[in-house]
Amino acid sequence: MLNGEPGATISQFIDDAKHIDLLSEKGVSARLGLLLYGPPGTGKSLLAGHVAASLGRPFYIARLDSLISSRLGETAKNIRGVFEYVPAKKAVLFLDEMDAIAKVRDDRHELGELKRVVNTVLQGLDSLTDDVVTIAATNHPHLLDPAIWRRFPYKAEISLPDRDVRESLWLHFLYEGQEARRDEATLLAQVSDGLNGADIENIGLAARRRAILSGAEPALAKILLAVSGSRSGSARLIGNDDLDAQAKRTLSSFLSDKGGINQAEIARIIGVSRQMVNKYLKEVQDG
């Protein structure tokens, strides 16, 4: 599930890769390199696998961070090994966590080791035959060497999910796609801006685990509380016990501020009277 824009680049990439023989015959082929960049947990690694699957090609993953060694010369050797290992002919080579390269430094000659490693990657990319598809992913595109950047003509920015995508993610991960739960998914999408797909998956699966082990589905209020914690960087577990007054206060204020949800609706979600919600909001305001 993706926001619109990158989706278009990716379908174009898949289309071009599928017809690479025709395109090169006509002399208009481009190097089949796709760079996915954007914040963590937005599905870049997942997407690379999907691209390979929709091309029906074998998929080789190399995590650059795992090839980095503190021993001089070792990193370049590891990277060379990856490119030598990829069999020519219609493979997809996925270079994940590309920004790891930029962290290579060597104390003795300032940037000596970094240069050597970047050169090894460039040589590796250039050694691949035209029919090998390369996909690279990074959280920090600005750390990539410009020469590496140029080796990937197709670029797709994978950003945090927008509201529609969040709604689909909630529906999928929390409600297993049940259309009857659409309204709840809509509400969750409304208040979960800033969360990535991995966060939504985590909260959704945690809630389903609680439902299975306790025999009762966690109330929407508890899931919303987990969302509010996740957004403020203080993750909360979804517990089995009832919300205490403090949690109800936090939740009232969260829904009112961030979701712009009215007091009657908040009262219904939390299961208290509207007067009570009004009281909570006043208490929060008065600190």
Residue 33 binds to ligand ATP (criterion: CB under 6 A): no
Shortest distance, position 185 Cβ to ligand ATP, whole Å: 14
From 37-45, 68-76, 112-120, 264-272, span contacting ligand ATP (CB under 6 A): 37-45
Cα separation of 188 and 73, whole Å? 50
- Total residues at interface with Mg ion (CB under 5 A): 2
Residue from 6, 34, 35, 43 binding ligand ATP (CB under 6 A): 43
How far apart, in Å, are the Cα atoms of 72 and each of 102, 106, 112, 116, 253?
Answer: 15, 8, 10, 10, 54
Tell me whether residue 29 or residue 45 sits nearer to ligand ATP (CB atom).
Answer: 45
In this structure, the dihedral spanned by the alpha carbons of residues 112, 117, 118 and 119, taken in order and rounded to 10 degrees, is: 90
Shortest distance, position 47 Cβ to Mg ion, whole Å: 9
From 44-52, 72-80, 228-236, 248-256, span contacting ligand ATP (CB under 6 A): 44-52
Cα separation of 239 and 234, whole Å? 15
Cα separation of 118 and 135, whole Å? 17
Residue 44 binds to ligand ATP (criterion: CB under 6 A): yes
Shortest CA distance to 69 belongs to which of 111, 104, 102, 114? 104
Residue 137 gets which letter from DSSP?
Answer: E
Shortest distance, position 161 Cβ to ligand ATP, whole Å: 6
Binding partner of residue 161 among Mg ion, ligand ATP, none, CB under 5 to 8 Å per kind? ligand ATP
Residue 88 gets which letter from DSSP?
Answer: S
Residue 61 binds to ligand ATP (criterion: CB under 6 A): no
**Strand 33-37 relative to strand 92-96: parallel, antiparallel, unpaired?**
unpaired
Shortest distance, position 26 Cβ to ligand ATP, whole Å: 34
Residues 6+ apart with CB under 8 A from 32: 13, 16, 17, 20, 130, 131, 132, 133, 134, 154
Residues 117-146 that bind ligand ATP (CB under 6 A): 137, 139
Shortest distance, position 47 Cβ to ligand ATP, whole Å: 7
- Total residues at interface with ligand ATP (CB under 6 A): 15
Cα separation of 201 and 7, whole Å? 20
Residues 24-53 that bind Mg ion (CB under 5 A): 44-45
Residue 3 binds to Mg ion (criterion: CB under 5 A): no
Tell me whether residue 38 or residue 259 sits nearer to ligand ATP (CB atom).
Answer: 38
Determine the residue with CB nearest ligand ATP: 197
3-state secondary structure 24-50: HHCCCCCCCEEEEECCCCCCHHHHHHH
Cα separation of 29 and 225, whole Å? 51
Residue 139 binds to Mg ion (criterion: CB under 5 A): no
| List of residues contacting Mg ion (CB under 5 A) | 44-45
| List of residues contacting ligand ATP (CB under 6 A) | 1-2, 40-46, 137, 139, 161, 197-198, 201
